[in-house]
């Protein structure tokens, strides 16, 4: 448990878990609709990308260790980042947006009442995804503020 006494190690632990999960997801995909653009994202590559993002942030912390201003800002940033990444990773699973190529379970239904439900579910997923991306960006701005203030105070 000594490994987790340093807050930034939660980044590497989460990255390792996501990478291990990526080995078992198979040929699953999920789709994102933003305004008029439709993205089909392979889940394996998505989880690996999230893992590498976390490792990149961990690397920045290790390189800038002597320049950081506050351990409290570090804790806030790491916790917000881990929470945001976990929500981003789990959102397609929780909202049942995963599918296998050739699977027709995500085809838009023909019944108007079902179309309305489908579109409401789609909007909910998109709003959750967008809000979580904003949380992730805000957390990275916290890291930037921590580094900048640390450099200013050091000089």
The whole-angstrom distance between residue 54's C-alpha and the CA centroid of its chain comes to: 9
C-alpha span between 74 and 80 (Å, rounded): 10
C-alpha span between 34 and 22 (Å, rounded): 25
14 confidence band (pLDDT: 50, 70, 90): very high
Question: How many CA atoms lie less than 13 Å away from 101 in the CB half-sphere?
Answer: 6
From the list 128, 118, 56, 127, the residue with the least C-alpha distance to 90 is 128
Q: What residue ranges do the domains of the chain occupy?
A: 2-154
Q: Is the pTM of this model over 0.85?
A: no
CB atoms within 10 A of CB 46: 19
Residue range 69-104, pLDDT digits in tens: 888 888 889 999 999 999 888 877 766 666 666 655
Confidence at residue 141, expressed as pLDDT on a 0 to 100 scale: 92
108 pLDDT exceeds 80? no
149 pLDDT exceeds 50? yes
C-alpha span between 56 and 8 (Å, rounded): 11
CB atoms within 10 A of CB 136: 19
106 pLDDT exceeds 60? no
C-alpha span between 49 and 126 (Å, rounded): 19
Please give the structure tokens belonging to residue 88.
């981003």
From the list 13, 34, 50, the residue with the least C-alpha distance to 130 is 34
Residue range 17-59, pLDDT digits in tens: 999 988 888 777 777 777 777 777 888 888 899 999 999 999 9
């Amino acid at each position: 448990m000594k490994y987790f006494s340093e807050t930034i190690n939660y980044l590497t632990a989460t990255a390792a878990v996501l990478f291990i999960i990526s080995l078992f997801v198979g040929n699953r995909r999920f789709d994102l609709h933003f305004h008029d653009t439709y993205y089909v994202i392979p889940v394996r590559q998505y989880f690996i990308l999230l893992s590498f993002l976390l490792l990149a942030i961990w690397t920045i912390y290790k390189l800038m260790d002597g320049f950081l201003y506050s351990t409290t800002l570090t804790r806030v940033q790491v916790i917000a980042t881990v929470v945001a990444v976990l929500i981003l990773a789990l959102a397609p699973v929780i909202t049942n947006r995963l599918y296998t190529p050739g699977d027709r379970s995500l085809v838009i239904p023909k019944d108007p009442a079902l179309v309305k439900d489908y579109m409401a579910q789609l909007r909910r997923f998109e709003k959750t995804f967008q809000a979580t991306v904003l949380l992730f960006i805000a957390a990275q701005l916290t890291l930037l503020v921590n580094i900048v203030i640390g450099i200013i105070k050091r000089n």
